[in-house]
Structure 1
Amino acid sequence: MTPDAEFGYELLVCRFAELAWHPSEGPRPAIVARQLGTKERRWDTVVIEVDPAAFARRRAFGDRTIDSDLLHVVRGAPADWAFYRDALPHPGYPWRYVRQAVHRAAGRDLIEKRRDGNRIEIRRVRPYPDWVERIVAVENKPDLDRSAADRLADQLDHDVETGLADEAWLATETTGERVEPALLRELPVEAGILATDFSAGVDADAADVAWHPSDLAPGEGERRDPETETLRLEIAERAYGKGWRSFHETMRPDCRHFELRREGRALLPHCAAKGKVPTARECSGSCPKFSPEPPQWRTRGWPIEGGPGKGYKRVLDRRRERERDRPESVE
């Protein structure tokens, strides 16, 4: 286990999912993110299973998230030039906001635009693909006790009832011991249970399936409503752009005490001053231990241009990009 139970464990589960998804049914191409969801429900770990060929076409739209406003434009852009208000479905809000999204989409080369008098016409650069196969929600609770099981039961029940995800899981730490059966009985039978042992770090063999999940997707001949499908795609897009290594964006890698340390096949943030994995709240400029990198670290021959803090960011960004390339290469 990592010193910080909740945050460190979450990062290890994300890395395990990247290495060994699907845990009970064999390898599936997927991308992994964390702390995503809706206003009503935020998931600890999110696994987006993808269609490799369609995912490659999504990659052609760039590395950044296509947000909900842009999705409305990109998905609706026609093959031939047309006035944007004729081409796109009514958004349910004023068209002036759509016009702003049209300009943003064209600025990112997601669509083409031109003026015909005082009218703005658009056409697609390429069709937006149907790249999302399944969405899996994972709740992480390393220390599962009675009160935690009760709270998680309500959260997982919500996941089962709404059907926003195709699978729901609980990941919990065993460190070689059995998960208490009485606690597992508190959870909905539709949720899978992933029993992990990260005492030696994370690798593809660091977890076992203690309970297999049910498929929460609509049955044959049924479909989710369009609003739910759009919400699922928005979550997938945020996962695509963010990944799970984005923790450095809310922490202070420019502190002299910030490090990346290896936990098996994972790299986790570490505070040398506190001797632990810090949370984003702890790793901030208001931390009493915060000490900015000396300027000479960035100007006198440090082997990583810009100093170690910027170097850590580049390492994490490269790893995110490498893992995001992997589903595209799966046959």
Structure 2
Amino acid sequence: MTPDAEFGYELLVCRYAELAWHPSEGSRPALVARQLGTKDRRWDTVVIEVDPAAFERRREFGDRTIDSDLLHVIRGAPAEWAFYRDALPHPGYPWRYVRQAVHRAAGRDLIEKRRDGNRIEIRRKRPYPDWVERIVAVENKPDLNRSAADRLADQLDHDVETALADEAWLATETTGERVEPALLRELPVEAGILATDFSASVDADAGSVAWHATDLAPGEGERRDPETETLRLEIAERAYGKGWRSFHETMRPDCRHFELRREGRGLVPYCAAKEKIPTARECSGSCPDFSPEPPQWRTKGWPVEGGPGKGFKRVLARRRERERDRVESVE
């Protein structure tokens, strides 16, 4: 049964994207994340299509997000030792912050550094790969009524106009009939429509294309400006480090009522007290039903370092790692 809450629907769309991306053009290796974007626009679901060989080289830099300051250092680090201020392009902000990023990058073993008197010299350990091929933005709206279509129209128009993503899609729950044409007319024709049916399970057949998306990437011989390309890479890096199973970071898996339940081939959070999939706002320490797991749970059948809540986090982390392995192995 498809969850009533938009949050639960969002998780199922993310799992579907892992299983069946691209919905209209065949299988493509991709990472999936949720609630990412810029200060002006946040997307429900983000699909990062990758080059598997380059993605394998990206994984050599570790499993954590490489933030914008670190990207500036890593991408500019030279093959031979050089003073960092000579090697790196001017950041547009004080060099002291670059110096801090150099120390952080070396601390994470992303570059090499050494001192030559009072000067800090850097050298790359390996080239940072061009691993991101395309970025796809998906808005999730299980119940597409007229007011929802009106709101989404402005958001999708923004996506089409800025072309930060290569495709823009709307995912909505099917009602057994075709999506009402009057509602589709409210949306930009460049946005694709994905009709989903998760009533039976989450699998590769759970979605169908009601309207094909337009490719928003620059035409042949054209390129995005460097600032936009850098912003796209920053979004991809956050997707790489965060994924979509990071909901436990904004919830309370240490509550005795918190569970993970299977929805087809996906795992979603479940509150036994409310008997529903909770949102991050509901699943918090201020919830009247919040009840911390007792200390005894951490010593009976669970590893000493934690109880069920810690176990849930490990399960979700293993699944995220397994998806990274799968993307890397695609030829």
| Superposed pair shares fold, TM > 0.5 | yes
Matched-pair identity in %? 92
SS of aligned partner of 1:268: strand
| C-alpha distance 302-82 of structure 1, shift in aligned 2 (>3 A) | closer
Q: Once the two structures are superposed, what CA deviation does each residue of 1:284-328 show, in whole Å capped at 9, x if it has no partner?
A: 111000011111110133378621111111000000000011111
Q: Distance in 2 between matches of 1:321 and 1:150?
A: 38
Any gaps of 5 or more consecutive residues in structure 2? none
| 1:142-221 → structure 2 map (5 Å cutoff) | 142-221=142-221
- Which residue is 1:327 aligned to? 327
Contact (CA 8 Å) 1:77, 1:124: kept in 2 or not? yes
* TM superposition shift of 1:178: 2.2
* TM superposition shift of 1:3: 3.5
Q: Distance in 1 between matches of 2:169 and 2:129?
A: 28
- Which residue is 2:81 aligned to? 81
Q: Distance in 1 between matches of 2:56 and 2:45?
A: 23
Contact (CA 8 Å) 1:9, 1:140: kept in 2 or not? yes
Query: How many correspondences in the alignment?
Result: 331
Q: Distance in 2 between matches of 1:221 and 1:237?
A: 26
Q: Distance in 2 between matches of 1:269 and 1:321?
A: 19
Q: Once the two structures are superposed, what CA deviation does each residue of 1:141-197 show, in whole Å capped at 9, x if it has no partner?
A: 000011110111110010000010000000000142321111011110100000001
Q: Distance in 2 between matches of 1:259 and 1:326?
A: 26
Q: Once the two structures are superposed, what CA deviation does each residue of 1:11-32 show, in whole Å capped at 9, x if it has no partner?
A: 0000000000000000000000
Contact (CA 8 Å) 1:74, 1:111: kept in 2 or not? yes
- Which residue is 1:296 aligned to? 296
Q: Distance in 1 between matches of 2:3 and 2:229?
A: 39
Contact (CA 8 Å) 1:251, 1:283: kept in 2 or not? yes
Q: Distance in 2 between matches of 1:206 and 1:175?
A: 13
* TM superposition shift of 1:95: 0.1
- Which residue is 2:231 aligned to? 231
| C-alpha distance 98-202 of structure 1, shift in aligned 2 (>3 A) | same
SS of aligned partner of 1:36: strand
Any gaps of 5 or more consecutive residues in structure 1? none
* TM superposition shift of 1:9: 0.3
Contact (CA 8 Å) 1:135, 1:167: kept in 2 or not? yes
Q: TM-score, normalised by structure 2?
A: 0.98
Q: Once the two structures are superposed, what CA deviation does each residue of 1:109-136 show, in whole Å capped at 9, x if it has no partner?
A: 0000000000000000000000000000
Q: Distance in 2 between matches of 1:294 and 1:83?
A: 54
Contact (CA 8 Å) 1:253, 1:259: kept in 2 or not? yes
More displaced, 299-308 or 215-224? Answer: 299-308
Contact (CA 8 Å) 1:195, 1:210: kept in 2 or not? yes
Contact (CA 8 Å) 1:31, 1:243: kept in 2 or not? yes
Q: Distance in 2 between matches of 1:54 and 1:122?
A: 23
Q: Once the two structures are superposed, what CA deviation does each residue of 1:264-296 show, in whole Å capped at 9, x if it has no partner?
A: 001000000000000011001110000111111
After TM superposition, the runs of 4+ consecutive aligned structure 1 residues lying more than 2 A away are 1-5, 175-178, 300-305
Q: Once the two structures are superposed, what CA deviation does each residue of 1:199-230 show, in whole Å capped at 9, x if it has no partner?
A: 12311110000000000000000000000000
SS of aligned partner of 1:138: strand
Q: Once the two structures are superposed, what CA deviation does each residue of 1:218-275 show, in whole Å capped at 9, x if it has no partner?
A: 0000000000000000000000000000000110001000000000001000000000
Contact (CA 8 Å) 1:78, 1:122: kept in 2 or not? yes
More displaced, 300-309 or 192-201? Answer: 300-309
